[in-house]
Amino acid sequence: MAGIAVSTTINGDHAEFLCHPDETLLEVLRERLGLMGVKEGCGTGDCGACSVILDDRLVCSCLVLGAEAEGRQIATVEGMAQGDRLHPLQQKFLEHAALQCGICTPGFLIAAKDLLAKNPDPTEEEIRFGLAGNLCRCTGYDKIVRAVQDAASVMRGA
């Protein structure tokens, strides 16, 4: 294939791939690199299921081209747990039953990770506002908000 050769860093590991110029980062992550935690809900930036952190910004990977990943740092849900030890957000999502079907969960986890990195002690309003780009058809959001609040206090060591 006459593709574009891209060299990037994903969850701290060096990665290289070839992609077509019109392939999205979402397609590359799932179909070329097998990172199935990145979900496609809408493909048009509306649902947040494909959220990843690109350098230090939360983005929808469906609205980034694979070729744009050259030389960048990408964080996906696959990088959150340390071996068998879940990230506090993952642990609290389980404890609070903040997921049902689960398709939105990786996007919420990454978005919440980005939120807490920038604001370790958010108010409920700040959490709801910060996660407004992530849609969930199952939970009604309340349990997600509680899980993020609880994880935030664990992460602050409170």
Ligand X SMILES: Cc1cc2nc3c(=O)[nH]c(=O)nc-3n(C[C@H](O)[C@H](O)[C@H](O)COP(=O)(O)OP(=O)(O)OC[C@H]3O[C@@H](n4cnc5c(N)ncnc54)[C@H](O)[C@@H]3O)c2cc1C
Q: Exactly one of 1, 16, 34, 57 binds another protein (CB under 8 A); which one?
A: 57
Tokens read off for 151: 């994880």
Question: For residues 30-69, which are near ligand FES according to CB under 6 A?
Answer: 40-43, 45-50, 60, 62
Per-residue mark of binding to another protein, 58-87 (x: CB under 8 A):
xxx-xxxx-xx-x-----------------
d(CA 101, CA 86): 19
Q: Exactly one of 45, 71, 120, 140 binds ligand X (CB under 6 A); which one?
A: 45
Which H helix or E strand runs over 33?
none
**For residue 29, how many other CB atoms are within 10 A of its CB?**
26
- In the list another protein, ligand FES, ligand X, none, the entry touching 59 (Cβ below 5 to 8 angstroms by class) is another protein
Contact in structure between 49 and 88 (CB atoms under 8 Å): no
